[in-house]
Structure 1
Amino acid sequence: MTLFKNEFPILEFDDSGSSVIMPNHENLDLILPEKCVYGFLGDEIDEYALKNKAIKVSEFVSATKLYPVYVTKYKGYEICFSQAPVGSAAAAQFLDWLIAYGVREIISTGTCGCLVDIEESVFVIPTRALRDEGTSYHYMKPSRFVDIDKKAVGAIKDLFLERGINYIETTTWTTDGFYRETEAMVKYRVEEGCRVVEMECAALCALAKLRDVIWGEILFTADTLCDVENYDQRNWAEDTLSYALELAMDVVIKIRKEKKIK
């Protein structure tokens, strides 16, 4: 185990998997399914749970609210699913907790902003993320990019091919600064190959690598920063939320297929 020191604290990293406070420090009597959908989908998660009579098996307790954790059977597979909080730090904390209690194969889904001219509600498969946030640096040594798990990316591509869904494959810009996406920075990120921007991908990917689990993400375009002088939030892709959840469910059961529940 090595502690890598640096002049700048954000670039310091301890490669130990153990911490003073571990995600399962509560020692809950909880064993979650290996397959998990972790969605940035507004009220869609709770509405799906109610409609499909999913079982609420636990809650993640944060300082601001409780996040229900549901389990359901989907096409013969047991799946855990929950709403993810926005922002790398909060999203990683909750996902680390879910992993500590048993999840191993995770698909996230949520909206992203467009850095180039892309229509609303276009599906995007991120294959790597530019690490312009802080959380990933606590889970992984410093690097400019982090690559998304190939098993997860492959499962998403396979499903989209089966469904005839058009998609864009790209590098995503993960940022902590929603209100700091400046004109110069947007241009710079596009020059680096980023076509979309969001706030969690790099962190969740780095977390998954440290914990040795499979994680991938289905993004879909919402607002656009393509015209930096005329920002357009459009409709935040609200019509795509339920479909994205369905796709995430179908992708997660494609990963390392298990024996079906009878």
Structure 2
Amino acid sequence: MSQTTFPLHPGKHELPAVPDPAEHAARVRARHPGATLKHFAGIVIVYQAHVMEYAHRRYRPRLLNEWIRGDLRMFDHHGHTFGLCGGFGVGAPAAALVLEQLITLGATRFVTVGTAAALSPDLLPGTLVVCREALRDEGVSRHYLPPTASIRPSPDLTDHLVRTIRATRAPARSGPTWTTDAPYRETEAEVTQYGASGVLTADMEAAAVFAVAAYRAVHAAAVFAAADTLVNRRPHDTQTTQRALRAALPAAFSALLAASTAPRRGQ
């Protein structure tokens, strides 16, 4: 039996797709003329419902109904407009679909705020981890880019995110993550191997988000709150994780603001 490749069609990342995200934008604008995200400083994408609820209380964002498959809201702060997106589920396919829809409506900067499992024994629950690189062990990214072991986020936006996270004075680190589609198939061999090589966390979306962003030539970064550990299993410290996510949220908006107002390189 011949060995199969993934994706099954070789060189798929170089081929044009049949469905076009612009079709989604056209349908939205047929119902909501003038629907655009081009003037937004950026959009924060969240995965946990309690983070979305906290953001509603803190920022009082206005609903942009039926613009995407999910809960998309906007608010103005310091003369700039920001977006907040959640309520679409978890995992690489869900995040990639929503990201495509946001991009086709004109958004160009994204920070994802979510949770991850620790691969390092000294990474305590509630520690914030800014992602510097993602191992591509999910499926989505291979449909967008050539096969490589890992992918990196937008460097400038990530640097802004590191600085704003540090300003919160919350426990924080930066480093690689392992993105996988199969949270109940994370094996001891993988945890040991990746942890020994310096990978800090395991997550479900980062590699896909970075791949879509690279393919569409927009900017994306990610920050996680360490929720549980794959090194020595123990009950989640839910309250500590929630506090960390609430600290990460305004830092993510500050990073987007800094990136949107920073002079372009070479100017």
TM-score (normalizing by structure 1): 0.86
User: Does structure 1 residue 10 correspond to structure 2 residue 1?
Assistant: no
CA contact 2:170–2:247 (8 Å) conserved in 1: no
Which amino acid is 2:84 matched to?
F
- Measured after TM superposition, the shift of residue 114 of structure 1 is 0.6
- Measured after TM superposition, the shift of residue 50 of structure 1 is 5.4
CA contact 2:117–2:203 (8 Å) conserved in 1: yes
| d(CA) in 1 for partners of 2:116, 2:36 | 32
Farther-moved stretch of structure 1 (172-181 vs 109-118): 109-118
User: Does structure 1 residue 188 correspond to structure 2 residue 193?
Assistant: yes
In the other structure, the counterpart of 1:86 is 90
Q: Gaps (5+ residues) in structure 2?
A: 30-34
CA contact 1:34–1:102 (8 Å) conserved in 2: no
| d(CA) in 2 for partners of 1:159, 1:234 | 24
Normalized per residue, which structure has more strand?
A: 1
The superposition leaves residues 78-108 of structure 1 with CA deviations (integer Å, 9 ceiling, x where unpaired) of 0111115310011111111101101101111
- Measured after TM superposition, the shift of residue 115 of structure 1 is 1.0
| d(CA) in 1 for partners of 2:75, 2:15 | 30
In the other structure, the counterpart of 2:19 is 21
TM-score (normalizing by structure 2): 0.84
Q: Gaps (5+ residues) in structure 1?
A: 1-5
- Measured after TM superposition, the shift of residue 18 of structure 1 is 4.5
Farther-moved stretch of structure 1 (113-122 vs 9-18): 9-18
| d(CA) in 1 for partners of 2:219, 2:171 | 24
CA 1:155–1:196 in structure 2 vs 1: closer, same or farther (change >3 Å)? same
- Measured after TM superposition, the shift of residue 157 of structure 1 is 1.9
CA 1:157–1:208 in structure 2 vs 1: closer, same or farther (change >3 Å)? same
| d(CA) in 1 for partners of 2:45, 2:89 | 10
Which amino acid is 1:252 matched to?
L
Percent identity of paired positions between Structure 1 and Structure 2: 24
- Measured after TM superposition, the shift of residue 232 of structure 1 is 3.4
- Measured after TM superposition, the shift of residue 165 of structure 1 is 4.3
The superposition leaves residues 115-144 of structure 1 with CA deviations (integer Å, 9 ceiling, x where unpaired) of 112111111111100000001111111000
- Measured after TM superposition, the shift of residue 191 of structure 1 is 2.8
- Two-structure CA RMSD over aligned residues (Å): 2.3
In the other structure, the counterpart of 1:115 is 119
User: Does structure 1 residue 244 correspond to structure 2 residue 224?
Assistant: no
Which amino acid is 2:175 matched to?
T
Query: What does 1:94-133 align with in structure 2 at a 5 Å threshold?
Result: 94-117=98-121, 118-133=123-138
CA contact 2:117–2:202 (8 Å) conserved in 1: yes
Normalized per residue, which structure has more helix?
A: 2
